[in-house]
Amino acid sequence: MSDEKSTGEEIHWLVRPETIRKLWRWGLSLLAVLVLADLVITPHPYFGIDGSFGFYAWYGFATCAVMVIGAKGLSIFLKRNDTYYDGNTSEGGPDNA
């Protein structure tokens, strides 16, 4: 960071620590307002559980967590070596036809 300031170049606004802090605060504030709005808005549940408090917040978080854990598990089967596309067919990589 000191190199960029010494050359006179401006740091991009999305990389600045104060901007990142503000974005986190705004995002968490918006999340809190939307979850608290669930207290005021009357839900019309289609299933029984989707009428519970904060359902869409915790369901979205749980779904995201399951997708991340599933992707980690899937990577065990789909992972390749760093040299997979280097052209060496003796190690199981694709041949350069």
Amino acid 7: pLDDT: 61
| DSSP states of 50-86 | GGSTTHHHHHHHHHHHHHHHHHHHHHHHH---TTTTS
For residue 11 the two structure tokens come to 């740091």
Backbone angles phi and psi of 61, in degrees to 5: -65, -45
pTM above 0.85, yes or no: no
Residues 6+ apart with CB under 8 A from 38: 53, 54, 55
Whole-number Å distance between alpha carbons of 81 and 68: 21
Mean pLDDT (10-residue bins), the chain, 97 residues: 62 92 96 93 90 92 97 91 76 53
CB atoms within 10 A of CB 88: 13
